């Protein structure tokens, strides 16, 4: 797994800002494009790969990528590594330009992540109970409620990355390439412990090692220190191929039904290798990508990207509930003539529902501008822990009826209240 980077010759005088670029550009169209492209591909994949059927009692969900040989597509379509890489670059740019206390930067980021979750919780906490009272079958409703929460794992992990950013940038300025190398070594040791003992839960330590390693690469990009991206692409994808061929890793970079091992939950060294390959490929294509006329698209999508991520699964659940459960029309076999003929209508209907949801909920992307006071490190870390605990609770249990969603909402509100306005003395 190869990433060629320039090691810094000396630590910066102000470690919060990159050594080579004191004040990075406010926006980088390449990073913005990666974020929007990554989110669009996530939505496209989630809407395209489900194989859904209902027998009048149970809703079953399959995966079109379970087809033999199709797993290789996931080495490109699993874009979460690019999303974390773009997030690392965006955080480095934002923090590098920040003139105030780092705690205030963290509070601002925390509010932007947690605030859009409030309308999602306000809708989905009472909705399952209401639909049950109206006679909707419990099993498909539980499936949909859980899936809506499970996709929030990304926010839980990204919150860790954001909270770690001030510390990670200091380590980056002092140790440079040794930081992602150390994180990769942690991923190796974690996989060794996981596969040698058979204790699958041990693998979840890689949630930190794998995703923070990719996030850290974004710091090098901001400084223009990612060198020879073609070699990083070949090294990353080549290492992943060797790990799949000779190791315990499956070929697919997304979890597949019935698979004994997943590269995604928890993430593995193979996922990190694919992430390095994707970063190298993306940087290699950067000169061509930044010439695309995407300005209007990015201007529209950027302020709505969180809403799209949070509500694209509820859109799928709503359409599936009507088409599959209510009308009894199962999704056709992937690649069949019926699937190809019906896919445009299916996709168009999903886009329409999501467009309506975005029209309603995009206003919650930006938290209210209030006269916020100063926070100490204890307060802001406590707020991050509460918000992260709330998101994690929803990731594990979803919005299925019970106490879990209420406790998650209380934790989110608690985290936001800690960052709220404070009287000035």
Write out pLDDT tens, residues 313-344: 999 999 999 999 888 888 888 778 888 888 89
Write out pLDDT tens, residues 47-96: 988 888 888 888 888 887 777 777 888 999 999 999 999 999 999 999 99
Phi and psi of 267, rounded to 5°? -65, 150
Q: Tokens representing 1?
A: 């797994």
Write out pLDDT tens, residues 89-130: 999 999 999 888 899 999 999 999 999 999 999 999 999 889
Taking the C-alpha atoms of residue 62 and residue 52, their distance in angstroms, rounded to an integer, is 6
Write out pLDDT tens, residues 211-267: 999 999 999 999 988 888 999 999 999 999 999 999 899 999 988 777 788 999 899
Write out pLDDT tens, residues 5-48: 543 333 333 334 433 333 445 678 999 999 999 999 999 999 98
pLDDT score recorded for residue 386: 95
In terms of Cα–Cα distance, which of 259, 48, 61 is closest to 142?
61
What is the reported pTM? 0.89
In terms of Cα–Cα distance, which of 353, 421, 405, 422 is closest to 124?
405
pLDDT range class, residue 422, cuts 50, 70, 90 = low
Taking the C-alpha atoms of residue 327 and residue 345, their distance in angstroms, rounded to an integer, is 15
H-assigned helices in 176-228: 178-197, 206-222
Q: Which residues contact 301 (CB under 8 A, 6 or more apart)?
A: 36, 39, 40, 308
Q: How many residues does the chain have?
A: 425
Phi and psi of 159, rounded to 5°? -65, -40
pLDDT score recorded for residue 15: 39
The sign of the dihedral angle between the CA atoms of 316, 322, 324, 325 is positive
Pick left, alpha or beta for residue 17 (phi over 0 → left; psi -120 to 50 → alpha; otherwise beta).
Answer: beta
């Amino acid at each position: 797994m190869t990433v060629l980077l320039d090691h810094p010759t000396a630590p910066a005088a102000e470690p919060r800002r990159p050594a080579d670029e004191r004040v990075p550009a406010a926006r980088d169209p390449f990073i913005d494009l990666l974020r929007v492209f990554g989110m669009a591909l996530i939505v496209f994949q989630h809407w395209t790969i489900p194989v859904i059927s209902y027998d009048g009692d149970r809703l079953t969900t399959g995966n079109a990528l379970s087809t033999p040989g199709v797993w290789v597509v996931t080495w490109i379509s699993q874009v979460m590594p690019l999303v974390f890489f773009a997030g690392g670059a965006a955080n480095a740019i934002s923090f590098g330009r920040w003139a105030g206390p780092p705690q205030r930067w963290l509070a601002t980021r925390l509010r932007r992540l947690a605030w859009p979750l409030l309308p999602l919780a306000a809708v989905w906490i009472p909705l399952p109970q209401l639909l049950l009272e109206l006679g909707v079958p419990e099993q498909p409703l539980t499936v949909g409620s859980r899936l809506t929460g499970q996709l929030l794992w990304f926010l839980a992990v990204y919150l860790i990355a954001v909270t770690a950013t001030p510390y990670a940038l200091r380590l980056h300025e002092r140790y440079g390439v040794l930081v992602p190398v150390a994180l990769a070594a942690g991923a190796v040791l974690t996989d060794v412990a996981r596969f040698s003992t058979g204790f699958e839960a041990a693998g979840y330590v890689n949630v930190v090692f794998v995703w923070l390693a990719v996030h850290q690469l974004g710091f090098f990009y901001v400084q223009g220190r990612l060198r020879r991206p073609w070699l990083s692409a070949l090294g990353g994808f080549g290492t992943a191929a060797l790990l799949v061929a000779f190791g315990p890793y499956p070929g697919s970079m997304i979890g597949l039904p019935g698979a004994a091992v997943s590269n995604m939950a928890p993430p593995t060294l193979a996922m990190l290798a694919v992430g390095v390959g994707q970063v190298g490929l993306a940087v290699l294509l950067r000169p061509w990508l930044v010439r695309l006329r995407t300005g209007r698209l990015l201007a529209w999508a950027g302020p709505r990207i969180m809403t799209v991520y949070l509500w694209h699964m509820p859109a799928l659940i709503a359409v599936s509930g009507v088409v599959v459960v209510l009308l009894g029309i199962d999704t056709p076999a992937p690649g069949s003539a019926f699937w190809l003929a019906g896919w445009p209508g299916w996709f168009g209907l999903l886009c329409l529902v999501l467009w309506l949801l975005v029209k309603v909920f995009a206003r919650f992307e930006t938290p209210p501008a209030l006269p916020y006071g100063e926070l100490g490190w204890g307060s802001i870390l406590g707020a991050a822990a509460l918000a992260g605990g709330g998101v994690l609770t929803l990731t594990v249990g979803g919005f299925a009826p019970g106490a879990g969603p209420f406790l998650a909402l209380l934790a989110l509100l608690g985290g936001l209240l800690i960052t709220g306005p404070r009287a000035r003395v």
